[in-house]
């Protein structure tokens, strides 16, 4: 059987951790930042974890992670 391919968009966006969780960045922080409040932009900093409900689809996109 041929190897499964990893989705190239997913490998750029997600990082699989040792405990099995998946780390992701926040959305809405790339452009049109002038109309967003400082509080909103500050809370979008850093990373967060992928929700349990989305883990199945993320795992499908990253078969060997």
pLDDT tens for residues 14-34?
999 999 999 999 999 999 999
Predicted local confidence at residue 63, as pLDDT: 96
| Summary count for the chain: helices (H), strands (E) | 3, 3
Compute the distance between CA of residue 51 and CA of residue 42 in angstroms, rounded to an integer: 21
Predicted local confidence at residue 37, as pLDDT: 98
Q: What is the pLDDT of residues 4-14, one digit of tens each?
A: 999 999 999 99
Ordered domains of the chain (ranges, CATH): 8-61 (4.10.410.60)
- pTM for the model stands at 0.85
Q: What is the pLDDT of residues 38-47, one digit of tens each?
A: 999 999 999 9
């Amino acid at each position: 059987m041929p190897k499964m391919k990893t989705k190239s968009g997913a490998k750029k966006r997600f990082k699989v951790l040792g405990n099995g969780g998946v780390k992701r960045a926040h959305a809405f922080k790339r452009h049109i930042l002038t109309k967003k409040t400082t509080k909103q932009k500050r809370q979008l900093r850093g990373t967060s974890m992928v929700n349990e409900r989305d883990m199945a689809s993320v795992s499908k996109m990253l078969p060997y992670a």
